[in-house]
């Protein structure tokens, strides 16, 4: 408790995220989605030479690549977002690498969002929450973090009792979650856009209301709670509607770049001060070395990633600076 008091209110996840956005002047989140085919050939070859033609070689190539990307973007990105699926696809060794990359990013001063989209019933959600955001109990009575990202993405399909343990652990450990509200994929609307008879709102706004309810009273001095929302950049109107219901949630906004959204599309996600959202791009940044302009300039894969992240950072900042004041909102105006 004394330790918590010493850390102060800014030590919670929304405060740390705000501070990262401010000091780096960046709303960029770099997604770490390693895919074997697209990795720099020399990284894969070096790993195969050491580890043979194996899943371990793939996992260790992902480690080298991930560390290289983190090195390249740590001053340009508010956060990095490793996608668990690609690491799980390498088996247990991939999970070692995921954990290592999360710890490496922390060492380099970058916040980490583990994109694992976990969700289960209450007792099981508790194990996910402790394992990914808190600490797992040891036989001797102590506890140890299993994975230690700053935040985790979470799936709401199981309802409030599946979300509550995550919120509790966030509060206790100064961590954050981003609940899937409106995702960026083409068939996101299959479920999320179904209009509910009672109240006439689509499902995704009912989820937004659920997120607002479970995080009520957890606002920090800046008006934000540890319970954020995933809201796809590819659907700006839905983002605007979600913003109305969720004035106190940070938005994690995927879909920028490779999925088709641009800087103008993400503006409804931000508050009047330019905070409240971070925009995620994966392939557009980490595989920038494969684009014609990077090849033309002869950029290394790390230099290309840094250039792409910086370009995205400036695009968003420029759009924010130039936006119509009427479209701006602040948390206090909405609550």
Catalytic residue among 117, 175, 297, 311: 117
- The C-alpha atoms of residue 207 and residue 204 are separated, in whole angstroms, by 5
- The C-alpha atoms of residue 199 and residue 213 are separated, in whole angstroms, by 16
Beta carbons within 8 Å of 33's beta carbon, 6+ residues apart: 83, 86, 282, 283, 286
Smallest separation, CB 153 to a second copy (Å): 9
- The C-alpha atoms of residue 274 and residue 262 are separated, in whole angstroms, by 16
Q: How far, CA to CA in Å, does 32 sit from each of 42, 57, 84, 119?
A: 18, 18, 9, 21
Smallest separation, CB 84 to a second copy (Å): 9
Smaller CB separation from a second copy, 155 or 291:
155
Identify the H or E element spanning 256: none
Smallest separation, CB 97 to a second copy (Å): 9
Is 117 known to be catalytic? yes
Smaller CB separation from a second copy, 44 or 309:
44
Over its C-alpha atoms, the chain yields an Rg (Å, rounded) of 19
Smallest separation, CB 202 to a second copy (Å): 10
Smaller CB separation from a second copy, 19 or 120:
120
In the Cβ-directed half-sphere of 334, how many Cα atoms lie within 13 Å?
Answer: 21
- The C-alpha atoms of residue 160 and residue 315 are separated, in whole angstroms, by 37
Smaller CB separation from a second copy, 77 or 180:
180
- Give the catalytic positions in this structure: 117
């Amino acid at each position: 408790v004394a330790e918590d008091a010493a850390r102060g209110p800014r030590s919670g996840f929304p405060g740390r995220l705000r501070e990262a956005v401010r000091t780096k002047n960046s709303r960029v989140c770099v997604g770490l989605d390693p895919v074997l085919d697209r990795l720099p050939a020399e990284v894969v070859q070096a790993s195969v030479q050491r580890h043979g033609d194996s899943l371990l070689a793939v996992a260790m190539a992902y480690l080298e690549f991930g560390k290289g990307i983190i090195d390249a973007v740590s001053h340009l990105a508010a956060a990095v977002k490793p996608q668990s699926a690609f690491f799980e696809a390498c088996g247990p060794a991939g999970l070692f690498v995921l954990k290592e990359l999360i710890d490496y990013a922390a060492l380099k001063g970058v916040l980490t969002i583990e994109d694992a989209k976990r969700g289960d019933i209450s007792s099981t959600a508790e194990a996910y929450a402790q394992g990914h955001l808190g600490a797992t109990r040891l036989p001797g009575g102590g506890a140890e973090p299993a994975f230690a990202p700053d935040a985790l993405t979470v799936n709401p399909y199981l309802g409030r009792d599946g979300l509550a343990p995550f919120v509790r652990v966030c509060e206790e450990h100064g961590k954050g979650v981003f609940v899937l509200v409106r995702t960026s994929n083409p068939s996101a609307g299959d479920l999320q856009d179904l209009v509910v008879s009672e109240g006439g709102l689509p499902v995704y706004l009912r989820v937004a209301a659920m997120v607002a309810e479970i995080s009520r009273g957890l606002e920090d001095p800046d008006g934000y709670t540890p319970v954020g929302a995933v809201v796809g950049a590819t659907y700006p109107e839905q983002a605007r509607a979600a913003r109305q219901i969720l004035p106190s949630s940070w938005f994690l906004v995927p879909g920028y770049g490779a999925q088709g959204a641009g800087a103008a599309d993400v503006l409804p996600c931000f508050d009047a001060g330019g905070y409240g959202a971070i925009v995620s791009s994966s392939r557009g940044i980490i595989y920038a070395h494969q684009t014609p302009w990077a090849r033309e300039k002869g950029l290394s894969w790390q230099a290309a990633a840094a250039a792409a992240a910086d370009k995205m950072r400036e695009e968003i900042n420029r759009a924010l600076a130039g936006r119509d004041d009427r479209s701006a909102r602040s948390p206090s105006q909405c609550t």
